[in-house]
């Protein structure tokens, strides 16, 4: 099930919330677990069994590590390997066989399995539990329901954020609930829903129409398409995270933040501190630092960065364009660290270059194949089939100028300071009044679009 | 701060819960008059529909279609879209002259090729009949100047030319485009809010067709408006609110006094086993699709038996564009059989043999034909 659907918003959510608030504190995790399993099974009626298997495996191995401390290391290694094999088999098997076939001119049968939605998210959550348990950061979780609830929690199950067990361990017990907390979650959820349904879907439709023209575009169209995708992926992904964090608050959880105005970044390094924070944190904690991080010789640091970023790319999908995308960022980050950031350029220049690099990154990311990356980039940099500007580009620009400007406005923290000042001033009533009206308006519009619009893509089916 | 969040929380849960309750309690609607389509009903729950996920998709469609205030939401959505400068919704452009026109999307070349091949093979199998083909352009090809500036659309002319150049040997291709472009400012050839041509447009097409099919100009027609509050399929599909409603006219034949007895005919519908003495269904004018005044809805097969003093028998294979053109042909044939391949599952070759048609007319509009896969299937039917 996805958040931006009528089924979720008007059947699943109200019923789940009612049950969750009505049952006594002790039964709340059970309700949440059952609801989450239904939530997952709704989209993956078969693969829900795989998720249950993963829960039992990691729960059992945790208990075993606790019981047999001297074999802790071996048990961890075994658990990590099984988890990665499962992820590898369901996510990368087809990709691997295709490449082996191409490389050795073989004809091994490619069985393309449908990718279980969210497998990358819940596997990474389980791994964070296993590894940090081994590191002794917290005691073993003996309660299966609590453990299963942590893995399956529907707010973050299919599109993150990747919640590390360390961060929610204390919250698995009784949680404080109140109408004010619920309302705080509702504010966040409404904002996330509007980001997804209004901004992401509308900019996504612009990208799709350019994308569908293939090579037959002008330079201006190619840029409009790339910029539209840049906004689509941000509002879609951060919208999902907002909805997840909001739903978490409604249920009494505090999840980590996942986005912090990434398009306000003044360097690529800065961008990755603001984009999909929970994923970068995961890779830093469990791959980069164990490899030695940056406290090693330069060549080893370069190796570490490239390994981590290739894996980060691959995490986003079993396809070469994601590997290239990851390496692209690895190289950019290295260049920044060792070259660019020493140049002390004015911030406007740094900002423009960062955004251009980010947009090129999304072109690589959104392509269906490697040759398509080249087509799209050459269209953007002056070698477009339809010249610099054509009629379609002017039409796209005219009918989407307002949308793209609005998207740019909301992706930057332009209102953050003035609103904070207004909230703390004597005219705070205006802030609350308009805030309330604004939230109601965007909720109504989101529902209207959700009910009547068929275009509602889910971008994370390859994650 | 806390009080504010309490208000928001309360409002949120109130809105969600009340909509949920209305959604669950309100009786289902089977049909939407505004959108002119059947609404999704409850999906059936089976092991298969559960494991392949079609039950879950069905629930989503069902809930969205039955959602309280769906019509108002459609209006909210399209108003918001036009407010931010969008002139397009669901493939429909909001054009000049307060009119709506459907975008022509690049057709699937494979489907086009297969349709051409089956049409040619069909004509070759029946060398005793004369074959005619009228592929009508849509409004977008005749009135491109009304489109939003630079609005992208594929070329209908290229599509029509593709068919005509390939089928020219086995079909008499009737090209109405020149005539339409000459007369496009004199009269309204297409509805402003519907994807069909108007009866005036069909009449103009008939004039071209008449010359191509050697029909002498024996009977004249007088037109009259039968409906002037018609909001058609494009309004429904796009949700755009246009100010002016369309008018539907019908053209009635003026038989000379001494030929009055030739004016009678019967229409027999094979699907409903009904027979009427008129090609008009006045009841449809009160319903929500007044275009159905022509022969009711689309039927798989119907036959018009006339009392015209002729033996000519005609088969028309068509989409709904033909519905308002057929009345012009009635005075000229003793029998007209009309097949709509989208709903027809019988053996068309057997029909050809048993009826011995003198002439066969294929009448389609570009948009329908380019998305249609039923014509080639029906023609391939029997070898």
Task: Please identify, among A127, A149, A175, the residue that sits at the C-terminal boundary of a domain.
Answer: A175
- CB within 8 Å: B15 and A443: yes
Predicted confidence at residue B234, as pLDDT, reads 92
Residues B26 and B109 in one domain: no
- Looking at the domain assignment, is residue A460 inside a domain? no
- Looking at the domain assignment, is residue B83 inside a domain? no
Residues A159 and A286 in one domain: no
Residues A198 and A101 in one domain: no
| Terminal CA-CA length for chain A | 16
Task: Enumerate the β-bridge partners of residue B269.
Answer: B274, B302
Task: Enumerate the β-bridge partners of residue B132.
Answer: B172, B361
Residues A128 and A198 in one domain: no
Residues A152 and A213 in one domain: no
Predicted confidence at residue A403, as pLDDT, reads 95
* Averaged pLDDT in 10-residue chunks for chain A of 463 residues: 91 95 93 94 89 94 91 93 92 85 81 82 94 92 93 89 91 90 96 96 92 85 95 96 96 94 94 94 92 87 92 91 94 89 85 95 92 90 85 90 96 92 89 94 95 82 74
Predicted confidence at residue B341, as pLDDT, reads 93
Residues A396 and A278 in one domain: yes
Predicted confidence at residue B382, as pLDDT, reads 54
Task: Enumerate the β-bridge partners of residue B316.
Answer: B338, B361
Residues A321 and A418 in one domain: yes
Residue A6: count of CB within 10 angstroms of its CB? 22
Cβ contacts of A355-363, under 8 Å, gap ≥ 24? A355/A263, A357/A268, A357/A332, A358/A230, A358/A262, A358/A263, A358/A265, A358/A268, A358/A271, A359/A226, A359/A227, A359/A230, A360/A226, A360/A328, A361/A325, A361/A328, A361/A329, A362/A226, A362/A229, A362/A230, A362/A233, A363/A226, A363/A229
Domain span at A374: 181-452
Task: Please identify, among A142, A159, A175, the residue that sits at the C-terminal boundary of a domain.
Answer: A175
> What are the respective helix, strand and coil percentages of chain A, to the nearest 5?
75, 0, 25
A-chain residue closest to B12, CA distance: A186
* Residues of A assigned a catalytic role: 316
- CB within 8 Å: B9 and A403: no
Phi, psi (degrees; rounded to nearest 5) at B135: -105, 105
Residues A54 and A145 in one domain: yes
- Looking at the domain assignment, is residue B273 inside a domain? yes
Q: Which of B3, B67, B76 sits opposite A6 (nearest CB)?
A: B67
Residues A122 and A32 in one domain: yes
- Looking at the domain assignment, is residue B321 inside a domain? yes
Residues B63 and B170 in one domain: no
- Looking at the domain assignment, is residue B143 inside a domain? yes
Total domains in the fold of chain A? 2
> What are the respective helix, strand and coil percentages of chain B, to the nearest 5?
45, 20, 35
Task: Enumerate the β-bridge partners of residue B339.
Answer: B301, B317
Angle at A19 between CA A18 and CA A23, to 5 degrees: 120
Substitution target from B1, B3, B4 for chain A, most A beta carbons within 10 A:
B4
Query: Which regions of chain B are under pLDDT 50?
Result: 383
Q: Which of A45, A185, A452 sits opposite B74 (nearest CB)?
A: A452
Domain span at B115: 95-380
Q: Is the dihedral of CA B274, B278, B284, B286 positive or negative?
A: negative
Task: Please identify, among B19, B50, B68, the residue that sits at the C-terminal boundary of a domain.
Answer: B68
Residues A163 and A247 in one domain: no
- CB within 8 Å: A391 and B152: yes
**Alpha-carbon separation of residue A181 from A3, A36, A249, B17, B323 (angstroms):** 20, 21, 6, 18, 62
Please count the CA atoms within 13 angstroms of the CA of A386 that sit on its side-chain side. 18
Residues A22 and A88 in one domain: yes
Which positions in chain A touch B95 (Cβ < 8 Å)?
A: none
**Alpha-carbon separation of residue A386 from A188, A199, A212, A379, A380 (angstroms):** 43, 28, 15, 9, 11
Cβ–Cβ < 8 Å for A143, A261: no
Cβ–Cβ < 8 Å for A217, A225: yes
Predicted confidence at residue B383, as pLDDT, reads 44
Predicted confidence at residue B45, as pLDDT, reads 87
Place of tokens 């599952």: B345
| Terminal CA-CA length for chain B | 78
Prediction pTM value: 0.85
Q: How far is A313 from chain B (nearest CA, A)?
A: 30
- Looking at the domain assignment, is residue A303 inside a domain? yes
- Looking at the domain assignment, is residue B84 inside a domain? no
Residues B51 and B109 in one domain: no
Residues B130 and B50 in one domain: no
B-chain residue closest to A44, CA distance: B53
Total domains in the fold of chain B? 2
Phi, psi (degrees; rounded to nearest 5) at B316: -115, 125
Task: Please identify, among A153, A175, A197, the residue that sits at the C-terminal boundary of a domain.
Answer: A175
- CB within 8 Å: A452 and B4: no
Which positions in chain A touch B5 (Cβ < 8 Å)?
A: 179-184, 186-187
Which positions in chain B touch A398 (Cβ < 8 Å)?
A: 85, 149-150
Q: Is A113 helix (H, G, I), strand (E, B) or coil?
A: coil
Residues A167 and A239 in one domain: no
Q: Is the dihedral of CA A274, A276, A277, A281 positive or negative?
A: negative
Q: How far is A190 from chain B (nearest CA, A)?
A: 9
């Amino acid at each position: 099930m996805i958040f931006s659907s009528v089924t979720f918003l008007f059947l699943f959510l109200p019923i789940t919330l009612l049950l969750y608030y009505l049952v006594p504190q002790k039964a709340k995790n059970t309700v949440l677990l059952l609801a989450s399993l239904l939530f997952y099974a709704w989209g993956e009626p078969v693969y829900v069994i795989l998720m249950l298997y993963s829960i039992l495996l990691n729960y059992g191995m945790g208990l075993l590590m606790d019981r047999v401390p001297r074999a802790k290391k071996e048990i961890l290694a075994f658990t990590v390997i099984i988890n990665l094999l499962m992820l590898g088999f369901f996510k990368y098997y087809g990709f691997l066989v295709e490449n082996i076939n191409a490389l050795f001119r073989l004809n091994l049968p490619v069985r393309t399995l449908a990718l279980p939605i969210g497998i990358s998210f819940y596997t990474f959550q389980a791994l964070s539990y296993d590894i940090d348990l081994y590191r002794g950061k917290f005691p073993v979780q003996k309660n299966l329901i609590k453990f299963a609830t942590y893995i399956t929690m529907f707010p973050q199950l299919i599109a993150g954020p990747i919640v590390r067990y360390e961060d929610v361990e204390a919250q698995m017990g009784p949680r404080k609930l109140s109408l004010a907390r619920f309302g705080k979650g509702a504010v966040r959820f409404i904002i996330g829903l509007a980001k997804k349904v209004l901004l992401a879907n509308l900019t996504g439709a612009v990208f799709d129409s350019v994308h569908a023209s293939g090579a037959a575009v002008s330079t201006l169209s190619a840029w409009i398409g790339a910029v539209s995708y840049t906004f689509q992926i941000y509002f879609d992904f951060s919208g999902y995270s907002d909805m997840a964090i909001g739903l978490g608050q409604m249920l009494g959880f505090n999840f980590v933040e996942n986005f912090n105005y990434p398009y306000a970044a003044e360097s690529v390094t800065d961008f990755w501190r603001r984009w999909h924070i929970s994923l970068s944190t995961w890779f830093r904690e469990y791959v980069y630092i164990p490899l030695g991080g940056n406290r090693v010789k330069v060549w080893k640091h370069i190796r570490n960065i490239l390994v981590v970023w290739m894996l980060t790319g691959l995490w986003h999908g079993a396809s070469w364009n994601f590997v290239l995308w990851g390496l692209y960022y690895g190289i950019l980050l290295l260049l920044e660290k060792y070259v660019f950031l020493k140049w002390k350029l004015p911030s406007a220049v740094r900002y423009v270059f960062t955004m251009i690099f980010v947009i090129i990154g999304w072109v690589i990311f959104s392509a269906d194949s490697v040759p398509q990356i080249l087509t799209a980039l050459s269209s953007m940099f002056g070698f477009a089939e339809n010249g610099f500007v054509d009629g379609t580009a002017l039409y796209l620009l005219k009918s989407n100028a307002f949308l793209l400007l609005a998207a740019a406005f909301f992706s930057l923290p332009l209102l953050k300071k003035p609103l904070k000042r207004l909230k703390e001033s004597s005219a705070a009533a205006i802030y609350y009044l308009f805030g309330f009206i604004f939230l109601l308006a965007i909720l109504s519009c989101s529902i209207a679009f959700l009910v009547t619009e068929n275009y509602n893509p889910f971008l994370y089916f390859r994650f | 701060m806390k009080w504010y969040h309490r208000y928001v929380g309360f409002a949120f849960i109130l809105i969600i819960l009340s909509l949920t309750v209305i959604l669950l309690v309100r009786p289902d609607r089977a049909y939407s008059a505004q959108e002119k389509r059947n609404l999704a009903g409850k999906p059936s729950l089976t092991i298969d529909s559960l494991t392949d996920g079609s039950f879950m998709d069905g629930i989503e469609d069902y809930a969205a279609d039955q959602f309280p205030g769906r019509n108002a939401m459609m209006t909210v959505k399209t108003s918001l879209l036009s407010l931010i400068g969008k002139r397009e919704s669901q493939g429909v452009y909001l054009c000049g002259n307060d009119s709506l026109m459907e975008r022509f999307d690049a057709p699937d070349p494979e489907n086009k090729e297969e349709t051409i091949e089956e049409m040619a093979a069909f004509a070759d199998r029946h060398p005793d009949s004369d074959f005619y083909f009228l592929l009508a352009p849509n409004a977008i090809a005749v009135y491109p100047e009304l489109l939003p500036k630079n609005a992208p659309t594929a070329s209908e002319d290229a599509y029509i030319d593709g068919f005509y150049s390939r089928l020219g040997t086995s079909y008499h291709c009737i090209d109405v485009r020149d005539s339409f472009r000459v007369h496009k400012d004199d009269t309204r050839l297409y509805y402003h809010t519907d994807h069909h041509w108007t009866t005036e447009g069909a009449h103009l097409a008939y004039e071209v067709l008449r010359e191509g099919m050697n029909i002498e100009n024996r009977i004249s027609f007088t037109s009259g408006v039968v409906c002037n509050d018609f909001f058609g399929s494009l309004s429904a599909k796009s949700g755009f609110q246009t100010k002016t409603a369309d008018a539907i006219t019908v053209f009635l034949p003026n038989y000379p006094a001494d030929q009055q007895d030739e004016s009678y005919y019967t229409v027999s519908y094979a699907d409903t086993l009904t027979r009427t003495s008129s090609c008009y269904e006045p009841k449809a004018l009160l319903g929500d699709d007044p275009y159905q005044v022509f022969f009711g809805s689309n039927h798989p097969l119907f036959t018009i038996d006339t009392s015209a003093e002729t033996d000519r028998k005609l088969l028309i294979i068509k989409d709904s564009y033909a519905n308002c053109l057929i009345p012009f042909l009635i005075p000229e044939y003793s029998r007209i059989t009309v097949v709509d391949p989208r709903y027809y599952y019988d053996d068309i070759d057997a029909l050809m043999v048993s009826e011995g048609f003198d002439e066969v007319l294929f009448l389609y509009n570009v948009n329908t034909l380019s998305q249609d896969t039923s014509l080639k299937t029906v023609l391939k039917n029997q070898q």
